[in-house]
Chains A and B, each alone.
Chain A
Amino acid sequence: MGIVTRLFNDIDGIYWFPLISLGLFISLFSVMVIHTLSMSKNRDQELSRMPLDNDEQ
């Protein structure tokens, strides 16, 4: 794959693309997990029953 690596070395800062994307994901994901875990449990249970609300099975 040497040739392919050489071809794309010419793009300025190309190696930052995967690093920026990983960093973006990890920070967003961490914020999301902390936020979600701190949410009200009672409301959570209430919302998880939504499909069963208008049940006439």
Chain B
Amino acid sequence: MELQKFYYDNRIVKLFAYATLFWGIVGMLVGVLIAIQLVYPALNFNLAFTTFGRVRPVHTNAVIFAFVGNGIFTGYYYSLQRLLKTGMASKWMSYTHFWGWQIIIVLAAVTLLAGFTSGKEYAELEWPIDILIAIIWVIFGWNMMWTILKRRVRHIYVAIWFYIATFVTVAVLHIVNSIEIPWSFMKSYPVYAGVQDALVQWWYGHNAVAFFLTTPYLGLMYYFMPKAANRPIYSYKLSIIHFWALIFLYIWAGPHHLLYQSIPNWAQSLGTVFSIMLIAPSWGGMINGLLTLRGAWDKVREDAVLKFFVVAITAYGMSTFEGPMLSLKSINAISHFTNWTVGHVHIGALGWNGFLTFGMLYWLFPRMFKTKLYSMKLANLHFWMGTLAILFYSIPLYWAGWTEASMWKQFNEAGELVYPNFLQIVSQIMPMYVMRIFGGTLYFLGALLMVYNIAKTVKAGSFVAMEADEAPALEREGGLKSGEEIHRFLERKPIRFMILAIIAILIGGIVEIVPTYLIKSNIPTISSVKPYTPLELQGRDIYVKEGCYNCHSQMIRPFRSETERYGEYSKAGEYVYDHPFQWGSKRTGPDLWREGVKTGRNYKPDAWHYNHFMDPQKMNATSIMPKYTWLADLEIDIASTPKKIRVMQTLGVPYPEGYDKIANDDLKAQAEKIAAGLKLQGIDVGSNKQVIALIAYMQRLGTDISSSTENP
């Protein structure tokens, strides 16, 4: 058959690879900064845009969507063209995808630092950027599917199955979780509230890990591991079973992020069961990756690329075993809200994603530039620095997590908390935070070494922008042939394959999401739970804007250690007006849900809150909270109050008809009362300042049910 000549576009691969290096360095550097801020709060610089609450989402977004995202696209553009023996279908779409993605990253960094956040972890970006992400993602997926359709290879290799599953699932997750109603050009409220919002958010959050940090990387593993080892993958059959089992099961496991919290028991059980079942397909991938090296283990001694791949896949195996263990309720009761989870996440991020990306880049650059890697010794040094860094990072955090959990839960013989002051526990884990800085810095320095090594490689080589290849055209084939196995048939029918993948992921999504709609009518009315006052609503938006949820939870679990420390445990019906929910996932500081209950252990007067926001270290010398002095200078945006009230009314919050027109009168009256109270305490602050709104919100937290009766 006649051979057709075609070209692989290496330029797009190179652009994404450079972006991976650049954003990797930025993301890691920001990570080191926030790790230092937890030890030296002065390094928050008393500036709004450099405080931990705003910078931490920049770190997570930079690492996940910028570093890992660009890493995915680097490997994807390289492998897709070669596996299908064709160039990309649309050059225009490829480059729109690249530049669009970089613009999204820059917009994300700028807006997050400016305080524009949805307040939902890993989905913080506001609605205009959400729309841009959806457009760019569709362009990426469209180009991919078009390229697959014009391929010259009959069967679609397993790596591409993972790319397809990634494309469709991320689209579904992003769109469903981002349904929000704007009240200004850059701000919106999510349509979900409280329990619903929590379930949708962690359905998204967990599956962002699954379908952004796992499935595309499994695709990369299935291509680059055989290439680097020069061995076929261990078992194609295993890849079929583990692919379908993985994408089917992963989508169910989200509620394991909400164990012992105010969500239905059945959802918690579902999350736990499916998390445990996930070990099998996850380890199927790990086994397939590692056993690809059978007969080639001697190469690992010399080859830094294989070293990175082996540790990456091992880290994948470790985190996918640890994840299900953390989903067991008895273990989760200890690990949740502590640094243990942070350690767990970083085994995946630094080990699996980081190391697979490093190995892939060390393999790719010499091939694209037709030269040898500048220094294998430096690459090996990077490998050992990175490996030690992961240990120095994660071990202290596991230690810190166990320390926190033990101290939070310890009672004396009289039945009282041994460590009632949260700061005693924070001080205890400071040495672990310091060691984490060392681990993070070492990892960052290793990455810098890689940039140097690659820069020298690029300088020595000669880039091949369009790489020529030849292959015969693909003959058209009809339906299922006699004797043809069903999966083999599917492997040459990309659209049907994609539809089946969508069905596989939608089953779990629907079973989890549909009942959350049913919940709305079944959630018990707690008669005393009322909408926030306009001032409290403004204060809540400041709480979200400053990213307080990054360090404080608003969810008291039904454990004696928590009810003793914080007060009455949280009820689902208390959160019905919370758009977005602010339950948090980590307690760097204490839970705040009963902060406003006057008879509670944690109640503080307005003056305490004011002084604490202005200078936390003055109130508690060992506090690691940043100062928020600008809140006493900036004014409440009262022009936005009517719009906010109207959007809340649209979302079903029962403000009276026409309340938007008089809401600011109530706001001013409540603000003046707080300011007058502060004045009596010797604090002179205008009633129109943001700190007043935030104090109002703090004093409202958890107070609704203090004199309520539930009406099931």
A residues apposed to B, CB below 8 Å: 1, 3-8, 10-11, 14-15, 17-18, 20-22, 24-25, 28-29, 32-33, 35-40, 43-45, 47-52, 54-55, 57
State the Cβ distance, B512 to closest chain A Cβ, in Å: 9
Identify 5 residue pairs between A and B in the complex whose beta-carbon atoms are under 8 Å apart, listed by A's number.
A7-B572, A25-B277, A48-B235, A50-B155, A51-B227
Knowing A7-B712, A18-B269, A39-B485 touch, does A49 contact B232 (C-beta < 8 A)?
Answer: yes
Which residues in chain B, 231-260, are within 8 Å of chain A measured between CB atoms? Answer: 232-237, 240-241, 244-245, 248-249, 252, 260
Beta-carbon contact of A50 and B263 below 8 Å: no
Does B522 sit within 8 A of A, measured CB to CB? yes
Q: A4-B572, A25-B248 are in contact. List 19 more A-B contacts (CB 8 A).
A: A4-B264, A5-B264, A8-B265, A8-B266, A18-B266, A21-B511, A28-B248, A32-B240, A32-B244, A40-B485, A48-B235, A50-B155, A51-B82, A51-B157, A51-B222, A51-B223, A51-B232, A54-B82, A54-B469
Taking a contact as CB atoms closer than 8 A, the residue among A29, A44, A57 that contacts B227 in the complex is A57
Cα–Cα, bound, A16→B160 (Å): 35
Contact B227 A35 (CB under 8 A): no
A21 contact from B83, B236, B507, B522, Cβ within 8 A: B507
Q: Judge if B85 is at the interface, Cβ distance under 8 Å.
A: yes
Instruction: Check B519 against A39 for contact (C-beta < 8 Å).
Output: no
Residue contact B260 to A36, C-beta cutoff 8 Å? no
Q: Is B270 an interface residue (CB 8 A)?
A: yes
Distance in angstroms from A25 CB to nearest chain B CB is 6
Minimum CB–CB distance from B340 to chain A (whole Å) comes to 22
Instruction: Tell me which residues across on chain B come within 8 A of A54, comparing CB atoms.
Output: 82, 85, 469
Of the candidates B230, B244, B507, B523, which one forms a contact with A24 in the assembled complex, judged by CB atoms under 8 Å apart?
B507
Q: Given A4-B264, A11-B518, A51-B157 in contact, is the A32-B241 Cβ separation under 8 Å?
A: yes
A53 to chain B minimum Cβ distance, whole angstroms, is 8
B157's partner among A35, A36, A40, A50 (CB-CB below 8 A) is: A50
- CB neighbours (8 Å) of B270 from chain A are 17-18, 21
Residues of the B chain whose Cβ atoms lie less than 8 Å from the Cβ of A33: 241
Q: In the complex the two chains form, is A21's CB within 8 Å of B266's CB?
A: no
- B232, B487, B522: which contacts A7 (Cβ < 8 A)? B522
Q: Is the CB of B230 within 8 A of A36?
A: no
Q: Closest 8 interchain pairs by CB? A: A8-B264, A48-B232, A49-B232, A48-B236, A10-B522, A50-B157, A44-B236, A51-B226
Max chain B CB contacts within 10 Å: which of A20, A47, A55? A47
The answer on a CB contact under 8 Å between A17 and B511 is: yes
Interface centre among A17, A24, A47, A48, by most chain B C-beta atoms within 10 angstroms, is A48
A-B contact count (CB 8 A): 126
If A7-B522, A18-B270, A32-B244 touch, whether A39 touches B507 (CB-CB below 8 Å) is no
Contact B487 A6 (CB under 8 A): no
A25 x B249 contact (CB < 8 A): yes
**Chain A neighbourhood of B686, CB < 8 A:** none
* Interface-central residue, B79, B240, B273, by most chain A CB under 10 Å: B240
Contact surface of B with A, Cβ cutoff 8 Å? 79, 82-83, 85, 153, 155, 157, 159, 222-223, 226-227, 230, 232-237, 240-241, 244-245, 248-249, 252, 260, 262-266, 269-270, 273-274, 277, 367, 469, 485-488, 491, 507-508, 511, 515, 518-519, 522-524, 558, 571-573, 710, 712
Which residue of the partner chain B has the closest CB to A24? B507
Q: How far is the CA of A11 from the CA of B468 in the complex (A)?
A: 61
Q: Are A47 and B157 in contact (CB under 8 A)?
A: yes
Which residues from chain A contact B262 at a C-beta distance below 8 Å?
4
A32 to B: closest C-beta gap in Å: 6
A6 CA to B572 CA in the complex, in Å? Answer: 11
In the complex, the answer to whether B572 meets A37 with C-beta atoms within 8 Å is: no
Q: Is B155 within 8 A of A47, CB to CB?
A: yes
Q: A29-B245, A52-B227, A54-B469 are in contact. Are A39 and B157 (CB under 8 A)?
A: no
Q: Which residue of A lies closest to B222 (CB)?
A: A51
| From B79, B558, B710, contact of A51 by CB (8 A) | B79
Residues of chain B within 8 A of A48, CB atoms compared: 226, 232-236
Decide: A45 and B236 in contact? CB cutoff 8 A.
yes
Q: From A5, A7, A43, A50, give the contact of B488 (CB < 8 A).
A: A43
Q: Are B264 and A14 in contact (CB under 8 A)?
A: yes
Do A36 and B487 have beta carbons less than 8 Å apart? yes
* Chain A residues whose C-beta falls within 8 Å of the C-beta of B522 in the assembled complex: 7-8, 10-11
B511 touches A36 (CB 8 A): no
Considering the complex, give the chain B residue whose CB is closest to the CB of A6: B712
CB-based nearest B residue for A54:
B82
Which of B252, B266, B491 is A14 in contact with, Cβ under 8 Å?
Answer: B266
- Also in contact, A32 and B245, with CB within 8 A (given A7-B712, A21-B252, A45-B232): yes
Known contacts: A10-B522, A49-B232, A51-B157. The answer to whether A37 contacts B237 by CB under 8 A is yes
Point out the residues of chain A lying under 8 angstroms from B227, CB to CB: 51-52, 55, 57
The CA-CA distance from A55 to B274 in the complex, in Å, is 39
Q: Contacts A25-B249, A36-B487, A39-B488 known; A1 to B260 CB distance under 8 Å?
A: yes
Q: Are B519 and A8 in contact (CB under 8 A)?
A: yes
Residues of B within 8 A of A28 (CB): 244, 248
A57, B519: Cβ atoms closer than 8 Å: no
Distance in angstroms between the alpha carbons of A52 and B223 in the assembled complex:
9
A23 vs chain B, min Cβ distance (A): 12
Residues from chain A with Cβ under 8 Å of B244 in the complex:
28-29, 32
